[in-house]
């Protein structure tokens, strides 16, 4: 018998990811800190990508390399002067050099074309110091890719990693510890203090292949040749990135139009549904927002932030138990979701569970010591529980973290006024108004204090401003009406109180509605 040819089955190899600690070790070895010797508050990051003789080449963000007298601090804490800065055309990137006889590790270049939506990536860098976290050194954050496409400044990669100022120019690594991109900037476009929702956030970067093509154009060759670019029709990722840019410019309708296209091209694009939900909510379409969060959750049942945002909308629609259920689910999925704790604390506070609210704010602060909103909200509850000094301490911390947090100034002003320091209270309200000229509550509170100090005309002016900003501010009408009566303007007082009564009735505030009607009858007698 002849022995037949043997058939060999070739098994496809599956790339095995390194452990998170292994990727962190690689990130530490290849990432440098970039500082400005003339501006200590400046911080950026970079990646060692080439070593020839005693010359090291570092790739970083273009805005990090601009201006100033820049220095590089290597992983062994040595400091070197930056030399020979080369901006890359059309990209927010630059290559810089430094000289050293020490041996440093260079990054291993990965295949950024293999990166797809939901690919796990790590962003490494050196966060800038803050007033609360002054000793932060190297940091690496894991996350997942949201989109690949094209956007201004050459950014073509979006990911949900929570980065910090100072990490710009740092490495984006895959699960094998290979360099697949360079971190550019965060894309958080709204204030979480304002809405409680998890906003469109994450970061933008540039893929390493896009970077290498431009590096070759300025004469920097690291020995890896990226494939040629082939023109293709716009992808779902392209529309997703365009929508993010439009959202950042508050063009919510334009963002929704682009997200519609992204979803048309990829009906299972959970992040696109999630972001469209945020934009719809911003336009007041609460039911549409919930429908989008439902779709995102159906596609990805572990989408913690979608549960948080659905909880926010449910709470706004009066479904507080449904909101708490969503926050509970988000926390179960991600026990370190600080925003879920803050929002659950807010609902517990509204339901009268003040100790439960404080416990949630404590959890949020433990997870994120820079969560200004958690400190501010805990301060409000402490204030209501009679701990005025503890409340002021929390408001101080919130302001230290975010000096432009208008609401914290308003709340601190309230506490200071309660403790008898009316001038300090007025100073806080004044600061809040400078930060946010449309802060109706700041004007209202300012009016209360001015009235208590005997300046009735100034108080009326403050209530005028509060009403101009918020025509439905019932309490402002009430207070202005009372002062008008005291100044002899009986008709003006009745007009204000009638307006206040109607607003209280519409708001379902029966007690204040009845009290205001009684006040009107007293004046009319």
Which range is least confidently modeled, 79-88, 114-123, 144-153, 371-380? 144-153
Whether residue 443 is contained in a domain is answered as no
Look at the chain and report how many structural domains it folds into: 2
Question: Are 177 and 307 in a shared domain?
Answer: no
Question: Are 198 and 71 in a shared domain?
Answer: yes
Mean pLDDT of 302-306: 92
What's the burial of 150, exposed, middle or buried (CB within 10 Å: 0-12/13-18/19+)? middle
Whether residue 161 is contained in a domain is answered as yes
Domain final residue, candidates 174, 200, 230:
230
| Per-residue model confidence (pLDDT) at position 36 | 85
Question: Are 53 and 155 in a shared domain?
Answer: yes
Residues 296/271, Cβ–Cβ less than 8 Å: yes
Whether residue 135 is contained in a domain is answered as yes
The side-by-side arrangement of strands in the sheet containing 31-36 is 79-81, 70-73, 31-36, 39-52, 55-61, 93-99, 83-87
Per-residue confidence band for 131, with pLDDT thresholds at 50, 70 and 90: low
**Between 390 and 160, where is the model more confident?**
390
Q: Answer yes or no: is pLDDT of 294 > 60.
A: yes
Question: Are 195 and 313 in a shared domain?
Answer: no
Q: Please work out, in degrees rounded to the nearest 5, the angle formed at the alpha carbon of residue 471 by the alpha carbons of 468 and 477.
A: 90
| Per-residue model confidence (pLDDT) at position 273 | 94
Q: Answer yes or no: is pLDDT of 165 > 90.
A: no
Please choose, from the candidates 45, 51, 109, 39, the residue with its C-alpha nearest in 3D space to the C-alpha of residue 75: 45
Question: Are 221 and 101 in a shared domain?
Answer: yes
> Pairing state of beta strands 139-148 and 39-52?
unpaired
Domain harbouring 185, CATH code: 2.40.10.120
Domain final residue, candidates 196, 230, 264:
230
Residues 383/391, Cβ–Cβ less than 8 Å: yes
Q: Answer yes or no: is pLDDT of 199 > 90.
A: no
| Per-residue model confidence (pLDDT) at position 217 | 77
Domain final residue, candidates 358, 378, 394:
358
Give the span between the Cα atoms of 308 and 368, in whole angstroms: 17
Give the span between the Cα atoms of 171 and 190, in whole angstroms: 26
Whether residue 146 is contained in a domain is answered as yes
Question: Are 194 and 312 in a shared domain?
Answer: no
Q: What proportion of the chain, given as a percentage, has pLDDT over 90?
A: 59
Whether residue 429 is contained in a domain is answered as no
Give the span between the Cα atoms of 48 and 108, in whole angstroms: 10
| Per-residue model confidence (pLDDT) at position 195 | 55
Domain harbouring 350, CATH code: 1.25.40.10
Per-residue confidence band for 475, with pLDDT thresholds at 50, 70 and 90: very high
Per-residue confidence band for 66, with pLDDT thresholds at 50, 70 and 90: confident
Domain that holds residue 320: 302-358
Question: pLDDT per residue over 81-107, tens digit each?
Answer: 998 888 888 888 889 999 999 999 999
Whether residue 200 is contained in a domain is answered as yes
| Per-residue model confidence (pLDDT) at position 231 | 59
Whether residue 431 is contained in a domain is answered as no
Per-residue confidence band for 210, with pLDDT thresholds at 50, 70 and 90: confident
Q: What mean pLDDT is reported for the chain?
A: 87
């Amino acid at each position: 018998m002849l022995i037949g040819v043997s058939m060999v089955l070739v098994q496809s190899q599956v790339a095995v990811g390194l452990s998170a600690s292994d990727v962190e070790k690689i990130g530490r070895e290849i990432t440098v800190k970039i500082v400005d010797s003339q501006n200590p508050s400046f911080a950026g990051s970079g990646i060692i990508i080439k070593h020839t003789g005693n010359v090291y080449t570092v790739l970083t963000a273009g805005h990090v390399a601009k201006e100033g007298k820049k220095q590089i601090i290597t992983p062994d804490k040595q400091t070197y002067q930056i030399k020979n800065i080369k901006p890359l055309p059309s990209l927010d990137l630059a290559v810089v050099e430094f000289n050293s006889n020490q041996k440093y590790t260079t990054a291993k270049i990965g295949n950024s074309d293999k990166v797809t939506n939901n690919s796990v990536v790590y962003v490494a860098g050196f966060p800038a110091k803050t007033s609360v976290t002054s000793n932060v050194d190297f940091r690496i954050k894991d996350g997942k890719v949201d989109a690949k496409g094209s956007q201004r400044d050459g950014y073509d990669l979006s990911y949900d990693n929570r980065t910090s100022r100072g990490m710009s120019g740092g490495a984006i690594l895959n699960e094998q510890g290979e360099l697949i991109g360079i971190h550019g900037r965060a894309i958080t476009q709204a204030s979480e203090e304002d809405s409680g929702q998890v906003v469109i956030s994450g970061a933008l970067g540039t893929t390493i292949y896009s970077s290498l093509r431009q590096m070759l154009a300025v004469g920097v060759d690291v020995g890896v040749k990226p494939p040629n670019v082939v023109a293709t029709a716009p992808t779902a990722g392209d529309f997703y990135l365009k929508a993010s840019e439009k959202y950042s410019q508050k063009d919510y309708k334009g963002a929704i139009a682009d997200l519609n296209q992204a979803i048309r091209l990829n009906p299972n694009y959970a992040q696109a549904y999630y972001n469209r939900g945020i934009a719809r909510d911003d336009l007041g379409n609460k039911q549409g927002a919930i429908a989008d969060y439902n779709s995102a959750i159906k596609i990805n049942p572990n989408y913690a932030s979608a549960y948080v945002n659905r909880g926010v909308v449910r709470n706004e629609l009066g479904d507080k138990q449904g909101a708490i259920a969503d926050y509970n689910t988000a926390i179960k999925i991600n026990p370190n979701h600080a925003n879920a704790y803050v929002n659950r604390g807010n609902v517990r506070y509204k339901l009268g569970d003040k100790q439960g609210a404080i416990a949630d704010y404590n959890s949020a602060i433990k997870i994120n010591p820079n969560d200004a909103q958690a400190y501010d909200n805990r301060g409000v509850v402490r204030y209501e529980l009679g701990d005025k000094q503890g409340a002021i301490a929390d408001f101080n911390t919130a302001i230290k973290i975010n000096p432009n947090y208008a609401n914290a100034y308003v709340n601190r002003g309230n506490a200071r006024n309660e403790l008898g320091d009316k001038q300090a209270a007025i100073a806080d309200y004044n600061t809040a108004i400078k930060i946010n000229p449309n802060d109706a509550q700041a004007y209202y509170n300012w009016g209360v204090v001015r009235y208590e100090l005997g300046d009735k005309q100034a108080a009326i002016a403050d209530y005028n401003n509060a009403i101009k900003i918020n025509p439905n501010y019932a309490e402002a009408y009430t207070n202005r009406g009372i002062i008008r009566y005291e100044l002899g303007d009986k008709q003006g007082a009745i007009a204000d109180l009638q307006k206040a009564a109607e607003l209280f009735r519409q708001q379902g505030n029966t007690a204040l509605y009845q009290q205001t009607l009684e006040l009107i009858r007293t004046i009319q007698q």
